[in-house]
Structure 1
């Protein structure tokens, strides 16, 4: 087993982080634990990255940005990397395809599958693959990982099949080539974008469709190449030089001009009576919106706008109704019981938008506070008939069904 250390401090921080990942339940197997303790994460990030950032549980490290400063490659947060490897259910001797190269994750995979396994890492960007290959060689993994430059959406590997395919970039859809590349009983682990909300989902084949076995919350740089999916964005000027941007993964308004000047209108609000305690997760509320709230979008506010000045009282999720929009807001709950969810809105029909959001908050409170299940039905499969309480999101090569168990 490889053990490369860049100094006592790095080794101590890595050991401490391993203990934390185990305590939080992200590392569940002895092989993943051993791999994490062995591979020097600091050897795969930019040299000027502080060690406390490198060995932080939920800090990713950007390794390349595009001409606009947008991150296009990174070393993902430690918690999501080990969680995705656990989702893949690897064994000694497993054949693994990694889509999205960086070097560090591939080194972890090489440790987990051992000398009898096979690790192939592919990326569309030659700068990324050159960097990954060089770092892997320097860390002693050059002979244990095959690095390839290609768009993994296509037929890159011929008839070769893999026991696991791990996608490390946000994917709007599943490429048919990935499904064909899975061996019988194989696992596909993919950060799937569902109407702007991502989950790393572990899938397995079952009777003509992929069935989710686990899901982890996390953010990822978007897929490039043939699998790229561009959001539609609309900037709403506030009349003072700033703007609020609405971003749609799907279902963008047919006539966004209806929203012109909307921020000049009087703001309204509606409250749900639904509360969450301090420190209580409500990440699946966003997924509920993504599945059941028509007109759902994400939003961002320029510095200096009214929303930016109130940043602690809202979250970047909204809904559009014609000439109006609403966004998820919170206010202190009674008797210090955390916060209450609601919606604030702009526009002549802002009340309708706020009410639509509040109704879905209440529906999530009644049914959605359980872990959802995921299925992916490839185009051409014999589709099930989905009841109304299943969220169905249509993709290019299939559809995603999200189910919340009855409470």
Structure 2
């Protein structure tokens, strides 16, 4: 006797339930309301043409549209990061929510959270994505979501103010229109790029300033339109670059190229190495002149660089010398010890400065969420500090370590 095949809807429901369980185990889902939304919305209807298993994979994004060069222009974010952002947003029934960047699925989740008394507006600059989102939302039964075709840099003022703004594309800055359209006690959750890394930050509005409640490392397809940005790349040698996202810094490129060929100085901090994303944020916002150093795996294999450079590592730069972080096994520090490799005529001094930063982080800030991040618009009546300041087009990011 043969077993009749399972109904596709039953398979999808089973995979959806398994996805929610996995997200709970990953601590991406911590509230019953977000769990219920994820268990209800049929994610596979927003992943047209993808296998059910791919649609319900907890930690995999699906590319929706690419440009002629194959670069992703729009994606269905991994359920993991969508869940984290919804938990950061703390959406309540009856709220008015603006989603920056459409896809459909996340807007459907938000509609579940705000309920019949709430409102969801989703805006995107790409007409193909807007049409796709409208179609998928209608198919899934979420036709109360308003999907708007516009440059998201301007928000959607017609429906403002919003209790929550959730940005689902990588942003280099926070335009004044988003702040203006946020209610006086509103919150914006935005993947904000700072010093070469993107972190999803939940900002609460406090008068004319935004103050962080939480943040986590993330990766998103970058904004299009007037909010797009281009990173600054300084090539030092074949396979070796410095990456700077904010205002261009002046480097003595020729001297740094010569430093690459100088002997490597090695110094160890005696401090534990862990929570690399938190340590990285501390280094990027406390060093006087810093950039992300990237080098190829081939150069690492040849012994020219430590493995940390393959994904990018904060490099402290002083004239024609530089230092960057590395690690080695050390049970006395809990498994690994942080250290420094330095090159150039001032290698000793720049290494000592870097080691001091590693020790200070380990002794004073070695925990999740230690940083306080503010966004201060140019129009804000607030004085800017001298430390931890990262200038942006429309304002400044200020990172402090209480």
TM-score of the two chains, using structure 1 as the length reference: 0.86
C-alpha offsets along residues 141-180 of structure 1, whole Å, 9 cap, x if unaligned? 2x22221221121264246321211011122211100111
Q: Which residue pairs with 1:189 in the alignment?
A: 189
Q: Secondary structure at the match of 1:260?
A: helix
Judged with a 3 Å threshold, the aligned counterparts in structure 2 of structure 1 residues 85 and 302 are, in CA distance, closer, same or farther, namely same
Quote how far apart the aligned CAs of 1:84 are: 1.4
Q: Which residue pairs with 1:317 in the alignment?
A: 313
C-alpha offsets along residues 275-319 of structure 1, whole Å, 9 cap, x if unaligned? 13xxx5332111111211133222333342236877756562132
Q: Which residue pairs with 2:231 in the alignment?
A: 231
Q: Which residue pairs with 2:253 in the alignment?
A: 256
2:383 is equivalent to residue 372 of structure 1: no
**In 2, Cα distance between equivalents of 1:125 and 1:153:** 13
**In 1, Cα distance between equivalents of 2:271 and 2:229:** 34
Q: Which residue pairs with 1:132 in the alignment?
A: 133
Any stretches of 5+ residues in structure 2 without a counterpart?
1-6
**In 1, Cα distance between equivalents of 2:11 and 2:62:** 19
Q: Which residue pairs with 1:20 in the alignment?
A: 22
Q: Secondary structure at the match of 1:174?
A: coil
C-alpha offsets along residues 210-232 of structure 1, whole Å, 9 cap, x if unaligned? 22222233222222222222111
**Counterparts of residues 103-122 of structure 1 (less than 5 Å):** 103-122=104-123
**In 1, Cα distance between equivalents of 2:306 and 2:257:** 23
Q: Which residue pairs with 1:220 in the alignment?
A: 220
CA contact (8 A) 1:331 1:340 kept: yes
2:281 is equivalent to residue 287 of structure 1: yes
**In 2, Cα distance between equivalents of 1:44 and 1:232:** 35
Any stretches of 5+ residues in structure 1 without a counterpart?
none
- Please tell me the root mean square deviation across aligned C-alpha atoms, in Å: 2.6
TM-score of the two chains, using structure 2 as the length reference: 0.87
Quote how far apart the aligned CAs of 1:33 are: 1.3
Judged with a 3 Å threshold, the aligned counterparts in structure 2 of structure 1 residues 11 and 346 are, in CA distance, closer, same or farther, namely farther
The number of equivalent residue pairs is 390
C-alpha offsets along residues 75-120 of structure 1, whole Å, 9 cap, x if unaligned? 2222221121122222222211100111111111111112332211
Q: Secondary structure at the match of 1:147?
A: strand
2:70 is equivalent to residue 76 of structure 1: no
C-alpha offsets along residues 355-385 of structure 1, whole Å, 9 cap, x if unaligned? 3322211121122224222222222322256
CA contact (8 A) 2:373 2:400 kept: yes
